[in-house]
Structure 1
Amino acid sequence: MTSPRTLRLIFAGTPDVAVPSLRALHEAGHDIAAVVTRPDAPLGRKRVLTPSPVAQAAEELGLRVLKTARLDDDATSELAALGADLAAVVAYGGLVREPLLSAPAQGWINLHFSLLPRWRGAAPVQHALIAGDAEIGTAVFQLVKELDAGDVYAQETVALPPEATAGEALEILAQTGARQLVEVVAAIADGTAVAQPQTGEATAAPKLALADGLIDWTEPAERVFARYRGVTPEPGAHTTLDGARVKLLALAPAREAEAPGDAALAPGATAAIRGGVLIGTGTEPLLLTRVQPAGKGAMAAADWFRGLRDDVRFGA
């Protein structure tokens, strides 16, 4: 039996979601000539400079690491000299331009967390959840100059738990996408890979800002919950109370038994129940179970609510 052909690769990625792909390509036996990632970033209250998750994984695997915020002339020269067959990028956080785009013999491929051409951009999962998309998935495509517009080698729809947040969805897609990426690299290696042009309407998924996490309680419950899912954990769902920002750390649809007689709560109006706080929307209420008030740590919503006045109304 013939052994699978391996390639000399460059891998570019930065956050946790890129780590499964790096590990999977390494385990598949490919020669990873270099791992490109963003520079160390200050984390925590003490702002300690910390290597990216991909940098930490690469160092654990004994791989060469190039930390750079931009793939500039110096980075291009260093990477082009490696003689790579192919480069794979998963959430690196920077643009790949010519002449680096054409430096590997087979170019660059990208694992993207959407069903292209829907949700091209930096935050595809977040936008898909906010929009209430019925389907979500991953795509591996050929990187080209235009943003996320290259021909697609493989696409896969992935079923998610109905209440999964963006963070939870990305954890799932990172695993299924890593397998998909390895399969595409194997097909490229043995010459059987075929990429097809993207078809359908393209939509944009730009990086979310803090303002995208602000909840509008006058919207229907399903739209409020969709936004909560899409902005959790980043940039974070929040509301206002007496002009101060309150982070909503755990929000869910209220079950029938949890909201007897409270279905008529006005948007933003609240009612304490066992285990949490009901909040009115444009339709039925939602249940808040964990919260972080301004200037305080995370806590159970029920505990926080007991110390407030009786007429609490969010969004005021």
Structure 2
Amino acid sequence: MSTPLRLIFMGTPDFAVPTLETLLALPEARVVAVVTGPDRPAGRGRQLQASAVKQAALAHSLPVLQPTNLKDSGFQEELRSYAADLQVVVAFRMLPEAVWNMPRLGSVNIHGSLLPQYRGAAPINWALMHGDQETGVTSFFLRHEIDTGDLILQEKLAITPDDDFGSVYDKLKVLGAQLAARTVAAIAAGTAPSTPQPTAPDGLRPAPKLTKETGRLDFSRSAAELVNQIRGLSPAPAAYTALPDGRSLKVFRAEAVDAASDTQAGTWSTDGRQSLGVTTSNGWLKLLEVQLEGKKRMSVEEFLRGTKLTF
């Protein structure tokens, strides 16, 4: 058997951990170091907390690099000292060319969409918010512009009506790990495809970073569109609206009700016990799981038992 490839792994959130764990077991490669984000304050005490990837790396006694500036010459010199053949990147920052072009075989990214669709920071969210019935993961070689490098492999995943961001995220982090293993094995064997992405494909949907405005529910839209928006942002950061009394309400689950209404879009209605809804452009949005500011997430039935509403 040929000498295993020397790998540098780059990632920060828990989405990247299954890929790191899978690569550690891959006979075709050896992870020699991990690059992740700096420790961040978290929790009520704002104590510094290591990233999920750092915790996994330390559990395997791997060297961990935590640069604040990827262009720093000291960091790049240390990175070069590991003499990596290949870098595998999952849910990490945008890399400068001096970093992604450093290994002799380049750098590979695992992206949570079927590229070229949904290039950008939030591909899973936007696929759900657009009501897509299919998504997947893609491995590709990093190049200058974000998510535009040559495609290597893809794996598809059906999106079910019950899926939300949380469930698709969990499925794709496992699927992404499997794809990363296949990709690295193919590169080690010299059989990896490298297919240029189309330069200006028709119907391309981007996946920009989420903002607070992304989560605001606009009841002049259709009920189905609002359901997809809620699914795409649940459980975090969560879609939100304001009750008629001004209190902020997060919405985690809802369903579209196709019922004619002569009331203005944005009109609230409740029976005070089990049902809470808002009129939309073409029917009703029936809320199922919500969270009032300062309270926990709960079913609408629980919410109505403990909250007085006056419309």
Query: Equivalences for 1:22-171 in 2 at 5 Å?
Result: 22-29=20-27, 30-72=29-71, 73-92=73-92, 94-171=93-170
User: CA separation of 1:143/1:16 partners in 2, compared to 1, >3 Å: closer, same or farther?
Assistant: same
C-alpha distance in 1 between matches for 2:262 and 2:35: 52
What secondary structure is seen at the aligned counterpart in 2 of 1:68? coil
Determine the structure 1 residue equivalent to 2:247: 244
C-alpha distance in 2 between matches for 1:292 and 1:44: 19
Residues 73-112 of structure 1, C-alpha deviations (whole Å, 9 max, x = no match): 22211111111010000001x2211222221110100000
Determine the structure 2 residue equivalent to 1:222: 224
What secondary structure is seen at the aligned counterpart in 1 of 2:48? strand
C-alpha distance in 2 between matches for 1:20 and 1:216: 37
Report if the CA contact (8 A) 2:231-2:252 is conserved. no
In structure 1, the gaps of 5 or more residues are 257-261, 312-316
Amino acid at match of 2:138: A
Determine the structure 2 residue equivalent to 1:18: 16
Residues 107-148 of structure 1, C-alpha deviations (whole Å, 9 max, x = no match): 100000111111111111111111222321111000011111
C-alpha distance in 1 between matches for 2:117 and 2:166: 19
Residues 10-32 of structure 1, C-alpha deviations (whole Å, 9 max, x = no match): 00001111111101100113211
What secondary structure is seen at the aligned counterpart in 2 of 1:289? strand
Runs of 4+, deviation exceeding 4 Å: 273-276
C-alpha distance in 1 between matches for 2:175 and 2:191: 21
Determine the structure 1 residue equivalent to 2:295: 296
Q: How big is the shift at 1:250? A: 2.9
- Which one is further off, 44-53 or 116-125? 44-53
| TM-score where L is the length of structure 1 | 0.88
User: CA separation of 1:273/1:168 partners in 2, compared to 1, >3 Å: closer, same or farther?
Assistant: farther
What secondary structure is seen at the aligned counterpart in 2 of 1:56? helix
Give the length in aligned residue pairs: 302
Amino acid at match of 1:158: L
What secondary structure is seen at the aligned counterpart in 2 of 1:243? coil
C-alpha distance in 2 between matches for 1:100 and 1:109: 12
Report if the CA contact (8 A) 1:112-1:140 is conserved. yes
Q: Does 1:233 align with 2:235?
A: yes
Amino acid at match of 2:173: A
User: CA separation of 1:197/1:248 partners in 2, compared to 1, >3 Å: closer, same or farther?
Assistant: same
In structure 2, the gaps of 5 or more residues are none
Q: How big is the shift at 1:5? A: 5.8
C-alpha distance in 1 between matches for 2:75 and 2:136: 32
| Residue of 201, 209, 214 corresponding to 1:207 | 209
C-alpha distance in 2 between matches for 1:112 and 1:309: 44
Report if the CA contact (8 A) 2:37-2:51 is conserved. yes
Report if the CA contact (8 A) 2:34-2:62 is conserved. yes
Report if the CA contact (8 A) 2:133-2:160 is conserved. no
Q: How big is the shift at 1:179? A: 0.5
Report if the CA contact (8 A) 1:121-1:206 is conserved. yes
| Residue of 6, 9, 12 corresponding to 2:7 | 9
